[in-house]
Structure 1
Amino acid sequence: MQSRGSSNRLSGLVLRSRLSALMFSMFATIASVYVAGRLWQDAQNRVYLIKELDRVSGQGQSAISVDDTLKIINCREQLKKLYALEMELAAARQEGFVSKYVSERNGTHSKKRLLAVIGIATGFGRKNNRDAIRRAWMRTGAALKKLEDEKGIFVRFVIGRSANRGDSFDRDIDNENRQTNDFIILDNHVEAPEDVSKKAKLFFVQAANSWDAEFYAKVNDDVYVNIDALGLMLSTHLDKPRVYMGCMKSGEVFSEPSQKWYEPDWWKFGNGKSYFRHAYGEIYVISRALAQFISINRSILRTYAHDDVTVGSWFIGLDVKHIHEEKFCCSSGSSGAICAAV
Protein backbone atom coordinates (compact mmCIF):
# COMPACT_ATOMS: atom_id res chain seq x y z
CA MET A 1 0.00 0.00 0.00
CA GLN A 2 1.46 3.36 -1.05
CA SER A 3 1.82 6.12 1.46
CA ARG A 4 0.29 9.59 1.05
CA GLY A 5 3.81 11.08 0.34
CA SER A 6 4.52 8.66 -2.46
CA SER A 7 1.17 9.51 -4.10
CA ASN A 8 1.89 13.24 -4.01
CA ARG A 9 5.35 12.79 -5.59
CA LEU A 10 3.86 10.71 -8.38
CA SER A 11 1.24 13.35 -9.09
CA GLY A 12 3.98 16.02 -9.27
CA LEU A 13 6.03 14.03 -11.72
CA VAL A 14 3.03 13.53 -13.98
CA LEU A 15 2.23 17.28 -13.88
CA ARG A 16 5.80 18.31 -14.74
CA SER A 17 5.88 15.78 -17.56
CA ARG A 18 2.68 17.21 -19.03
CA LEU A 19 4.01 20.78 -18.72
CA SER A 20 7.27 19.80 -20.42
CA ALA A 21 5.37 18.16 -23.25
CA LEU A 22 3.18 21.24 -23.63
CA MET A 23 6.19 23.62 -23.74
CA PHE A 24 7.97 21.40 -26.26
CA SER A 25 4.86 21.39 -28.44
CA MET A 26 4.68 25.21 -28.30
CA PHE A 27 8.35 25.65 -29.24
CA ALA A 28 7.99 23.11 -32.03
CA THR A 29 4.96 24.96 -33.39
CA ILE A 30 6.75 28.34 -33.29
CA ALA A 31 9.84 26.89 -34.96
CA SER A 32 7.71 25.29 -37.65
CA VAL A 33 5.93 28.59 -38.36
CA TYR A 34 9.27 30.46 -38.53
CA VAL A 35 10.89 27.93 -40.87
CA ALA A 36 7.80 27.80 -43.05
CA GLY A 37 7.73 31.60 -43.21
CA ARG A 38 11.36 31.79 -44.27
CA LEU A 39 10.91 29.09 -46.87
CA TRP A 40 7.82 30.88 -48.20
CA GLN A 41 9.70 34.19 -48.34
CA ASP A 42 12.63 32.60 -50.17
CA ALA A 43 10.21 30.95 -52.57
CA GLN A 44 8.47 34.26 -53.21
CA ASN A 45 11.80 36.01 -53.84
CA ARG A 46 12.83 33.23 -56.21
CA VAL A 47 9.54 33.44 -58.13
CA TYR A 48 9.84 37.24 -58.37
CA LEU A 49 13.41 37.10 -59.61
CA ILE A 50 12.64 34.39 -62.15
CA LYS A 51 9.75 36.47 -63.46
CA GLU A 52 12.00 39.53 -63.66
CA LEU A 53 14.69 37.60 -65.50
CA ASP A 54 12.09 36.21 -67.89
CA ARG A 55 10.68 39.69 -68.49
CA VAL A 56 14.09 41.24 -69.19
CA SER A 57 15.54 38.41 -71.22
CA GLY A 58 12.33 37.44 -73.00
CA GLN A 59 12.97 33.73 -72.41
CA GLY A 60 10.17 31.37 -71.52
CA GLN A 61 12.12 29.40 -68.94
CA SER A 62 14.90 30.23 -66.51
CA ALA A 63 16.34 28.75 -63.35
CA ILE A 64 18.17 30.39 -60.52
CA SER A 65 19.70 28.90 -57.40
CA VAL A 66 19.04 30.08 -53.87
CA ASP A 67 22.64 31.33 -53.60
CA ASP A 68 22.28 33.34 -56.79
CA THR A 69 18.96 34.66 -55.54
CA LEU A 70 20.53 35.94 -52.35
CA LYS A 71 23.42 37.52 -54.28
CA ILE A 72 21.02 39.34 -56.58
CA ILE A 73 18.94 40.56 -53.64
CA ASN A 74 22.09 41.83 -51.92
CA CYS A 75 23.24 43.60 -55.09
CA ARG A 76 19.85 45.24 -55.47
CA GLU A 77 19.98 46.52 -51.90
CA GLN A 78 23.50 47.90 -52.42
CA LEU A 79 22.38 49.68 -55.59
CA LYS A 80 19.47 51.24 -53.69
CA LYS A 81 21.84 52.51 -51.00
CA LEU A 82 24.27 53.87 -53.62
CA TYR A 83 21.46 55.66 -55.43
CA ALA A 84 20.24 57.17 -52.15
CA LEU A 85 23.75 58.43 -51.34
CA GLU A 86 24.08 59.96 -54.81
CA MET A 87 20.77 61.77 -54.35
CA GLU A 88 21.85 63.09 -50.96
CA LEU A 89 25.17 64.27 -52.40
CA ALA A 90 23.43 66.04 -55.28
CA ALA A 91 21.02 67.72 -52.86
CA ALA A 92 23.90 68.84 -50.65
CA ARG A 93 25.70 70.36 -53.61
CA GLN A 94 22.51 72.13 -54.69
CA GLU A 95 22.22 73.60 -51.21
CA GLY A 96 25.74 74.97 -51.39
CA PHE A 97 27.54 72.54 -49.12
CA VAL A 98 30.38 72.22 -51.66
CA SER A 99 32.87 75.07 -51.61
CA LYS A 100 33.11 77.32 -54.64
CA TYR A 101 36.81 76.58 -54.74
CA VAL A 102 37.10 72.93 -53.76
CA SER A 103 40.54 71.89 -52.57
CA GLU A 104 41.62 68.56 -53.95
CA ARG A 105 44.59 66.39 -53.27
CA ASN A 106 46.77 65.68 -56.26
CA GLY A 107 49.60 63.44 -55.14
CA THR A 108 51.46 65.43 -52.49
CA HIS A 109 50.12 68.78 -53.72
CA SER A 110 46.84 70.54 -53.03
CA LYS A 111 45.26 72.62 -55.80
CA LYS A 112 42.18 74.80 -56.00
CA ARG A 113 39.50 74.71 -58.63
CA LEU A 114 40.19 77.29 -61.31
CA LEU A 115 37.81 80.14 -61.92
CA ALA A 116 38.07 79.82 -65.71
CA VAL A 117 39.85 78.01 -68.51
CA ILE A 118 40.10 80.24 -71.58
CA GLY A 119 40.91 78.75 -74.98
CA ILE A 120 42.00 81.17 -77.70
CA ALA A 121 41.16 79.60 -81.05
CA THR A 122 44.07 80.15 -83.42
CA GLY A 123 45.48 78.65 -86.59
CA PHE A 124 48.56 78.17 -88.72
CA GLY A 125 50.19 81.35 -89.98
CA ARG A 126 48.71 83.52 -87.21
CA LYS A 127 51.76 83.95 -85.02
CA ASN A 128 51.51 87.76 -85.28
CA ASN A 129 48.04 87.61 -83.73
CA ARG A 130 49.30 85.38 -80.96
CA ASP A 131 52.27 87.63 -80.21
CA ALA A 132 49.97 90.66 -80.08
CA ILE A 133 47.71 88.87 -77.58
CA ARG A 134 50.70 87.84 -75.45
CA ARG A 135 51.82 91.47 -75.27
CA ALA A 136 48.34 92.88 -74.67
CA TRP A 137 46.54 90.68 -72.16
CA MET A 138 47.48 87.02 -72.03
CA ARG A 139 50.84 87.37 -70.26
CA THR A 140 53.78 85.04 -70.68
CA GLY A 141 56.23 83.01 -68.61
CA ALA A 142 56.06 83.64 -64.87
CA ALA A 143 53.29 86.21 -65.31
CA LEU A 144 51.09 83.58 -66.99
CA LYS A 145 51.67 81.18 -64.10
CA LYS A 146 50.91 83.98 -61.64
CA LEU A 147 47.60 84.58 -63.41
CA GLU A 148 46.68 80.96 -62.77
CA ASP A 149 47.83 80.92 -59.14
CA GLU A 150 46.42 84.27 -58.01
CA LYS A 151 43.31 84.74 -60.14
CA GLY A 152 42.50 81.13 -61.01
CA ILE A 153 42.43 81.89 -64.75
CA PHE A 154 44.11 79.45 -67.14
CA VAL A 155 44.70 80.84 -70.67
CA ARG A 156 46.06 78.92 -73.66
CA PHE A 157 45.99 79.06 -77.45
CA VAL A 158 44.06 76.18 -79.02
CA ILE A 159 45.15 74.59 -82.28
CA GLY A 160 44.93 71.25 -84.05
CA ARG A 161 47.34 69.43 -86.34
CA SER A 162 48.16 69.70 -90.01
CA ALA A 163 46.48 67.41 -92.52
CA ASN A 164 50.04 66.42 -93.49
CA ARG A 165 51.04 65.35 -90.01
CA GLY A 166 54.55 66.42 -89.05
CA ASP A 167 55.00 68.99 -91.83
CA SER A 168 56.36 72.52 -91.44
CA PHE A 169 53.07 73.80 -89.97
CA ASP A 170 53.20 71.26 -87.15
CA ARG A 171 56.91 71.84 -86.58
CA ASP A 172 56.41 75.61 -86.35
CA ILE A 173 53.72 75.20 -83.70
CA ASP A 174 55.80 72.70 -81.73
CA ASN A 175 58.81 75.04 -81.81
CA GLU A 176 56.69 78.00 -80.73
CA ASN A 177 55.15 75.98 -77.92
CA ARG A 178 58.58 74.92 -76.66
CA GLN A 179 59.46 78.61 -76.31
CA THR A 180 56.16 79.85 -74.83
CA ASN A 181 54.47 76.76 -73.31
CA ASP A 182 51.05 78.33 -73.88
CA PHE A 183 49.24 75.97 -76.27
CA ILE A 184 46.55 73.35 -76.01
CA ILE A 185 47.32 71.16 -79.02
CA LEU A 186 44.42 69.00 -80.17
CA ASP A 187 46.31 66.04 -81.59
CA ASN A 188 43.15 64.32 -82.86
CA HIS A 189 41.90 67.37 -84.79
CA VAL A 190 42.95 68.47 -88.27
CA GLU A 191 43.00 72.24 -88.76
CA ALA A 192 40.53 73.20 -91.49
CA PRO A 193 38.24 76.24 -91.93
CA GLU A 194 35.20 73.99 -92.36
CA ASP A 195 35.87 72.17 -89.08
CA VAL A 196 35.91 75.05 -86.61
CA SER A 197 32.83 73.64 -84.85
CA LYS A 198 34.49 70.27 -84.30
CA LYS A 199 37.52 72.11 -82.98
CA ALA A 200 35.39 74.00 -80.45
CA LYS A 201 33.79 70.74 -79.30
CA LEU A 202 37.17 69.04 -78.86
CA PHE A 203 38.48 72.02 -76.93
CA PHE A 204 35.62 71.87 -74.41
CA VAL A 205 36.03 68.10 -74.11
CA GLN A 206 39.78 68.29 -73.47
CA ALA A 207 39.46 71.29 -71.18
CA ALA A 208 36.72 69.70 -69.06
CA ASN A 209 38.72 66.47 -68.77
CA SER A 210 42.05 68.15 -68.00
CA TRP A 211 41.23 71.15 -65.80
CA ASP A 212 38.64 71.55 -63.07
CA ALA A 213 37.17 75.03 -63.43
CA GLU A 214 33.97 76.92 -62.72
CA PHE A 215 33.79 78.25 -66.29
CA TYR A 216 35.19 77.49 -69.73
CA ALA A 217 35.50 80.21 -72.39
CA LYS A 218 36.29 80.27 -76.09
CA VAL A 219 37.88 83.42 -77.56
CA ASN A 220 39.00 84.28 -81.08
CA ASP A 221 42.64 85.22 -81.64
CA ASP A 222 41.70 88.69 -82.92
CA VAL A 223 39.96 89.69 -79.68
CA TYR A 224 41.55 91.55 -76.78
CA VAL A 225 40.18 90.75 -73.33
CA ASN A 226 40.29 92.71 -70.06
CA ILE A 227 41.20 89.70 -67.96
CA ASP A 228 40.55 91.38 -64.59
CA ALA A 229 37.10 92.58 -65.63
CA LEU A 230 36.30 89.13 -67.00
CA GLY A 231 37.28 87.50 -63.70
CA LEU A 232 35.08 89.89 -61.72
CA MET A 233 32.12 89.29 -64.00
CA LEU A 234 32.41 85.51 -63.85
CA SER A 235 32.60 85.65 -60.05
CA THR A 236 29.09 87.15 -59.97
CA HIS A 237 27.67 84.04 -61.68
CA LEU A 238 29.14 81.35 -59.44
CA ASP A 239 25.71 80.60 -58.01
CA LYS A 240 24.37 79.48 -61.39
CA PRO A 241 25.10 75.78 -62.06
CA ARG A 242 24.21 75.81 -65.78
CA VAL A 243 24.98 79.11 -67.44
CA TYR A 244 25.67 80.03 -71.08
CA MET A 245 26.89 83.58 -71.44
CA GLY A 246 27.85 85.91 -74.27
CA CYS A 247 26.70 88.57 -76.69
CA MET A 248 23.45 86.93 -77.78
CA LYS A 249 22.21 87.34 -81.34
CA SER A 250 20.01 85.68 -83.95
CA GLY A 251 21.35 86.24 -87.44
CA GLU A 252 20.40 85.22 -90.93
CA VAL A 253 20.94 81.69 -92.20
CA PHE A 254 22.70 81.77 -95.57
CA SER A 255 21.62 79.05 -97.97
CA GLU A 256 23.76 79.80 -101.02
CA PRO A 257 27.18 78.08 -101.27
CA SER A 258 28.70 81.24 -102.72
CA GLN A 259 27.90 83.24 -99.58
CA LYS A 260 30.59 83.77 -96.95
CA TRP A 261 28.60 82.38 -94.01
CA TYR A 262 26.99 79.54 -95.93
CA GLU A 263 25.24 76.92 -93.80
CA PRO A 264 24.90 73.50 -95.55
CA ASP A 265 22.13 72.54 -93.12
CA TRP A 266 20.21 75.79 -93.70
CA TRP A 267 16.94 73.91 -94.26
CA LYS A 268 16.90 72.73 -90.65
CA PHE A 269 16.36 76.25 -89.38
CA GLY A 270 12.88 76.73 -90.81
CA ASN A 271 11.36 78.80 -93.57
CA GLY A 272 12.34 82.06 -91.89
CA LYS A 273 16.03 81.22 -92.36
CA SER A 274 16.92 82.76 -89.02
CA TYR A 275 19.09 81.21 -86.33
CA PHE A 276 17.93 80.74 -82.75
CA ARG A 277 19.50 82.96 -80.09
CA HIS A 278 23.12 82.07 -79.46
CA ALA A 279 26.28 83.74 -78.18
CA TYR A 280 28.40 85.49 -80.80
CA GLY A 281 31.58 83.61 -81.61
CA GLU A 282 34.14 86.26 -80.61
CA ILE A 283 33.83 85.18 -76.98
CA TYR A 284 31.39 83.03 -75.05
CA VAL A 285 31.43 81.26 -71.69
CA ILE A 286 29.83 78.09 -70.34
CA SER A 287 29.77 76.71 -66.81
CA ARG A 288 31.42 73.49 -65.64
CA ALA A 289 28.22 71.42 -65.85
CA LEU A 290 27.75 72.34 -69.52
CA ALA A 291 31.37 71.56 -70.38
CA GLN A 292 30.92 68.17 -68.73
CA PHE A 293 27.71 67.66 -70.70
CA ILE A 294 29.62 68.27 -73.95
CA SER A 295 32.36 65.87 -72.88
CA ILE A 296 29.94 63.09 -71.96
CA ASN A 297 27.79 63.46 -75.09
CA ARG A 298 30.46 64.44 -77.60
CA SER A 299 29.84 61.46 -79.87
CA ILE A 300 26.20 62.41 -80.54
CA LEU A 301 26.35 66.23 -80.52
CA ARG A 302 25.68 67.62 -83.99
CA THR A 303 27.97 70.30 -85.42
CA TYR A 304 27.03 73.01 -87.92
CA ALA A 305 29.14 75.27 -90.11
CA HIS A 306 29.80 77.85 -87.37
CA ASP A 307 31.02 77.10 -83.86
CA ASP A 308 28.87 79.69 -82.10
CA VAL A 309 25.68 78.35 -83.69
CA THR A 310 26.80 74.81 -82.95
CA VAL A 311 27.45 75.41 -79.25
CA GLY A 312 24.17 77.32 -78.91
CA SER A 313 22.24 74.45 -80.51
CA TRP A 314 23.42 72.02 -77.84
CA PHE A 315 21.74 74.02 -75.07
CA ILE A 316 18.38 74.79 -76.69
CA GLY A 317 16.65 71.79 -75.15
CA LEU A 318 18.45 71.89 -71.79
CA ASP A 319 17.63 73.63 -68.53
CA VAL A 320 20.28 76.29 -69.13
CA LYS A 321 20.30 79.95 -68.14
CA HIS A 322 21.09 82.04 -71.22
CA ILE A 323 22.67 85.37 -70.27
CA HIS A 324 22.98 88.19 -72.76
CA GLU A 325 25.92 90.26 -71.57
CA GLU A 326 26.54 93.55 -73.39
CA LYS A 327 30.10 93.59 -72.12
CA PHE A 328 30.78 90.57 -74.35
CA CYS A 329 29.72 92.46 -77.48
CA CYS A 330 33.31 93.10 -78.53
CA SER A 331 32.56 94.71 -81.89
CA SER A 332 29.99 97.19 -80.59
CA GLY A 333 32.48 99.49 -78.91
CA SER A 334 30.07 99.97 -76.00
CA SER A 335 31.40 101.48 -72.80
CA GLY A 336 32.38 99.01 -70.12
CA ALA A 337 33.05 96.19 -72.60
CA ILE A 338 35.53 93.60 -71.38
CA CYS A 339 36.70 92.77 -74.91
CA ALA A 340 37.55 94.49 -78.16
CA ALA A 341 37.80 93.05 -81.66
CA VAL A 342 40.73 94.18 -83.82
Structure 2
Amino acid sequence: MALVGIHTGFLSVGRRNALRKTWMSSDRDGLRRLEESTGLAFKFVIGRSSNRSEMAELEKEIRKLAYFKEAYRLYDSKFYVKVNDGVYLRPDRLSLLLAKNRSHSLTYIGCMKNGNVVKDPTHKGFRMFSNEDVLIGSWMLAMNIDHEHVEELCQLKCTSSSIAVRNISCSGICQPENQLIKLHKMDICSKTPTIVSSID
Protein backbone atom coordinates (compact mmCIF):
# COMPACT_ATOMS: atom_id res chain seq x y z
CA MET A 1 0.00 0.00 0.00
CA ALA A 2 2.70 2.52 0.96
CA LEU A 3 6.43 3.07 1.03
CA VAL A 4 7.68 4.73 4.23
CA GLY A 5 11.03 6.44 3.69
CA ILE A 6 12.80 7.01 6.98
CA HIS A 7 15.17 9.93 6.42
CA THR A 8 18.44 9.46 8.24
CA GLY A 9 22.08 10.48 8.01
CA PHE A 10 25.37 8.64 7.70
CA LEU A 11 26.25 9.40 11.31
CA SER A 12 22.80 8.52 12.68
CA VAL A 13 23.52 4.87 13.48
CA GLY A 14 22.24 5.38 17.04
CA ARG A 15 18.92 6.70 15.77
CA ARG A 16 18.48 3.77 13.39
CA ASN A 17 19.33 1.32 16.17
CA ALA A 18 16.84 3.03 18.49
CA LEU A 19 14.10 2.69 15.85
CA ARG A 20 14.94 -1.00 15.47
CA LYS A 21 14.46 -1.42 19.23
CA THR A 22 11.05 0.26 19.16
CA TRP A 23 8.34 0.17 16.49
CA MET A 24 10.61 -1.06 13.69
CA SER A 25 11.86 -4.61 14.04
CA SER A 26 15.58 -5.36 14.17
CA ASP A 27 15.35 -8.69 12.35
CA ARG A 28 14.17 -9.46 8.82
CA ASP A 29 11.32 -11.74 9.90
CA GLY A 30 9.96 -9.18 12.34
CA LEU A 31 10.17 -6.44 9.71
CA ARG A 32 8.44 -8.69 7.17
CA ARG A 33 5.62 -9.38 9.66
CA LEU A 34 5.25 -5.64 10.36
CA GLU A 35 5.13 -4.88 6.64
CA GLU A 36 2.59 -7.63 5.97
CA SER A 37 0.35 -6.64 8.88
CA THR A 38 0.30 -2.93 8.00
CA GLY A 39 0.71 -2.93 4.22
CA LEU A 40 3.65 -0.55 4.66
CA ALA A 41 7.20 -1.08 3.37
CA PHE A 42 9.99 0.60 5.36
CA LYS A 43 13.29 1.84 3.90
CA PHE A 44 16.01 4.02 5.40
CA VAL A 45 16.86 6.90 3.05
CA ILE A 46 20.36 8.41 2.89
CA GLY A 47 21.47 10.67 0.02
CA ARG A 48 25.11 10.78 -1.07
CA SER A 49 27.35 12.46 -3.63
CA SER A 50 31.14 12.68 -3.95
CA ASN A 51 30.90 16.37 -4.92
CA ARG A 52 30.85 18.59 -1.79
CA SER A 53 28.60 21.29 -3.23
CA GLU A 54 26.24 18.66 -4.64
CA MET A 55 26.21 16.94 -1.26
CA ALA A 56 25.30 20.18 0.52
CA GLU A 57 22.45 20.73 -1.92
CA LEU A 58 21.41 17.09 -1.70
CA GLU A 59 21.22 17.31 2.08
CA LYS A 60 18.71 20.13 1.73
CA GLU A 61 16.79 18.50 -1.11
CA ILE A 62 16.65 14.96 0.27
CA ARG A 63 14.41 16.24 3.03
CA LYS A 64 12.00 17.56 0.51
CA LEU A 65 11.27 16.78 -3.10
CA ALA A 66 14.17 14.49 -4.04
CA TYR A 67 12.87 11.64 -1.89
CA PHE A 68 9.45 11.71 -3.49
CA LYS A 69 10.89 11.82 -7.00
CA GLU A 70 13.15 8.83 -6.38
CA ALA A 71 10.58 6.86 -4.41
CA TYR A 72 8.07 7.28 -7.22
CA ARG A 73 10.67 6.22 -9.77
CA LEU A 74 11.81 3.14 -7.82
CA TYR A 75 8.65 1.85 -6.12
CA ASP A 76 5.10 1.28 -7.30
CA SER A 77 3.10 2.28 -4.22
CA LYS A 78 -0.27 3.81 -3.58
CA PHE A 79 1.28 6.17 -1.00
CA TYR A 80 4.78 7.56 -0.42
CA VAL A 81 5.47 8.49 3.19
CA LYS A 82 8.40 10.52 4.52
CA VAL A 83 9.34 10.38 8.19
CA ASN A 84 12.49 11.50 9.99
CA ASP A 85 14.57 8.98 11.93
CA GLY A 86 13.84 10.74 15.22
CA VAL A 87 10.04 10.35 15.02
CA TYR A 88 8.16 7.81 17.11
CA LEU A 89 5.71 6.20 14.70
CA ARG A 90 2.69 3.95 15.13
CA PRO A 91 2.73 1.99 11.83
CA ASP A 92 -0.58 0.32 12.67
CA ARG A 93 -2.34 3.68 12.92
CA LEU A 94 -0.55 5.05 9.86
CA SER A 95 -1.83 2.08 7.90
CA LEU A 96 -5.40 2.83 9.00
CA LEU A 97 -5.03 6.48 8.05
CA LEU A 98 -3.81 5.57 4.57
CA ALA A 99 -6.56 2.97 4.08
CA LYS A 100 -9.27 5.58 4.68
CA ASN A 101 -11.52 6.29 1.69
CA ARG A 102 -10.93 9.69 0.15
CA SER A 103 -13.00 11.62 -2.37
CA HIS A 104 -9.90 12.76 -4.29
CA SER A 105 -7.64 10.14 -5.88
CA LEU A 106 -4.49 12.22 -5.29
CA THR A 107 -4.09 13.38 -1.71
CA TYR A 108 -1.15 14.89 0.16
CA ILE A 109 -1.52 13.98 3.83
CA GLY A 110 0.52 15.89 6.36
CA CYS A 111 0.57 17.96 9.48
CA MET A 112 0.26 21.52 8.22
CA LYS A 113 1.62 23.10 11.38
CA ASN A 114 1.85 26.56 9.83
CA GLY A 115 -1.66 26.47 8.42
CA ASN A 116 -3.24 25.27 5.24
CA VAL A 117 -1.37 25.11 1.95
CA VAL A 118 -1.70 28.43 0.14
CA LYS A 119 -3.16 27.73 -3.30
CA ASP A 120 -3.28 31.31 -4.56
CA PRO A 121 -0.02 32.21 -6.40
CA THR A 122 -0.67 35.92 -5.80
CA HIS A 123 -0.64 35.41 -2.02
CA LYS A 124 2.40 37.15 -0.50
CA GLY A 125 3.55 33.99 1.30
CA PHE A 126 2.99 31.60 -1.61
CA ARG A 127 6.69 30.59 -1.93
CA MET A 128 7.89 31.27 1.61
CA PHE A 129 7.25 28.36 3.94
CA SER A 130 9.52 27.19 6.72
CA ASN A 131 7.41 24.14 7.48
CA GLU A 132 8.31 21.14 5.37
CA ASP A 133 4.78 19.70 5.12
CA VAL A 134 3.33 22.96 3.83
CA LEU A 135 6.29 23.47 1.48
CA ILE A 136 5.97 19.99 -0.06
CA GLY A 137 2.21 20.39 -0.23
CA SER A 138 2.71 23.63 -2.16
CA TRP A 139 5.05 21.96 -4.64
CA MET A 140 2.36 19.39 -5.30
CA LEU A 141 -0.24 21.99 -6.29
CA ALA A 142 0.72 21.58 -9.94
CA MET A 143 -0.50 17.98 -9.80
CA ASN A 144 -4.01 18.97 -8.64
CA ILE A 145 -3.54 17.19 -5.33
CA ASP A 146 -5.97 17.47 -2.46
CA HIS A 147 -4.39 18.43 0.88
CA GLU A 148 -5.41 16.72 4.11
CA HIS A 149 -4.23 18.01 7.48
CA VAL A 150 -3.94 15.26 10.11
CA GLU A 151 -3.14 16.52 13.58
CA GLU A 152 -2.28 13.00 14.79
CA LEU A 153 0.84 13.13 12.59
CA CYS A 154 2.44 15.86 14.69
CA GLN A 155 1.78 15.09 18.32
CA LEU A 156 4.16 16.34 20.99
CA LYS A 157 3.45 13.32 23.18
CA CYS A 158 1.91 9.89 22.84
CA THR A 159 -1.87 9.83 23.04
CA SER A 160 -4.53 7.23 22.39
CA SER A 161 -4.77 8.53 18.81
CA SER A 162 -1.25 9.73 17.95
CA ILE A 163 0.30 8.38 14.76
CA ALA A 164 3.62 10.24 14.97
CA VAL A 165 5.25 11.86 17.99
CA ARG A 166 7.89 14.51 17.49
CA ASN A 167 9.32 17.75 18.81
CA ILE A 168 9.42 20.39 16.08
CA SER A 169 12.62 21.95 17.43
CA CYS A 170 14.49 18.63 17.12
CA SER A 171 13.19 17.36 13.76
CA GLY A 172 11.78 14.41 15.65
CA ILE A 173 12.27 13.47 19.28
CA CYS A 174 15.09 15.29 21.09
CA GLN A 175 17.89 12.86 22.00
CA PRO A 176 16.22 10.11 19.94
CA GLU A 177 18.71 7.36 20.75
CA ASN A 178 17.37 7.31 24.32
CA GLN A 179 13.97 8.94 24.07
CA LEU A 180 12.56 6.67 21.34
CA ILE A 181 13.22 3.63 23.51
CA LYS A 182 11.82 5.41 26.57
CA LEU A 183 8.62 6.29 24.68
CA HIS A 184 8.25 2.75 23.38
CA LYS A 185 8.28 1.41 26.94
CA MET A 186 5.30 3.62 27.83
CA ASP A 187 1.96 1.84 27.46
CA ILE A 188 0.28 4.95 26.03
CA CYS A 189 2.83 4.93 23.19
CA SER A 190 3.08 1.28 22.24
CA LYS A 191 0.26 -0.70 23.81
CA THR A 192 -2.88 1.35 23.22
CA PRO A 193 -5.35 -0.05 20.67
CA THR A 194 -4.86 0.59 16.98
CA ILE A 195 -8.44 1.49 16.19
CA VAL A 196 -9.24 4.97 17.39
CA SER A 197 -12.40 6.83 16.43
CA SER A 198 -10.62 10.11 15.54
CA ILE A 199 -8.63 8.40 12.77
CA ASP A 200 -11.73 6.88 11.10
TM over 0.5: yes
Amino acid at match of 1:152: G
SS of aligned partner of 2:161:
coil
- Relative distance call for 1:161 and 1:319 in structure 2 (3 A) is closer
Residues 194-224 of structure 1 show CA distances to partners (whole Å, capped at 9, x for unaligned) of: 7422453232222212222111100011101
**Of 218, 235, 241, the match for 2:82:** 218
Partner of 1:80: none
How is 1:135-214 mapped onto 2 (pairs within 5 angstroms)? 135-140=21-26, 141-161=28-48, 163=50, 191-192=55-56, 195-198=59-62, 200-214=64-78
Identity in percent: 36
1:118–1:155 contact (8 Å) kept in structure 2: yes
**How far did 1:339 drift?**
1.2
Q: How many correspondences in the alignment?
A: 161
Amino acid at match of 2:98: L
1:313 equivalent in alignment to 2:199: no
**Of 96, 114, 119, the match for 1:250:** 114
Bigger RCO (CA 8 Å, 6+ sep)? 2
1:159–1:191 contact (8 Å) kept in structure 2: no
SS of aligned partner of 2:111:
strand
Structure 1 CA distance for aligned equivalents of residues 155 and 15 of structure 2:
17
**Of 327, 331, 342, the match for 2:156:** 331
Runs of 4+ in 1 over 4 A off after TM superposition: 268-276, 332-335
My pick for the range that moved more, 240-249 or 314-323, is 314-323
Which has the larger helix fraction? Answer: 1
Could you state the TM-score of these two structures normalised by the residue count of structure 2? 0.66
Which has the larger strand fraction? Answer: 1
**For structure 2, which runs of at least 5 residues remain unmatched after alignment?**
116-120, 167-172, 174-200
SS of aligned partner of 1:160:
coil
1:231 equivalent in alignment to 2:118: no
Partner of 1:65: none
Structure 1 CA distance for aligned equivalents of residues 25 and 55 of structure 2:
25
SS of aligned partner of 1:250:
coil
Query: Radius of gyration: which is bigger?
Result: 1
How is 1:262-273 mapped onto 2 (pairs within 5 angstroms)? none
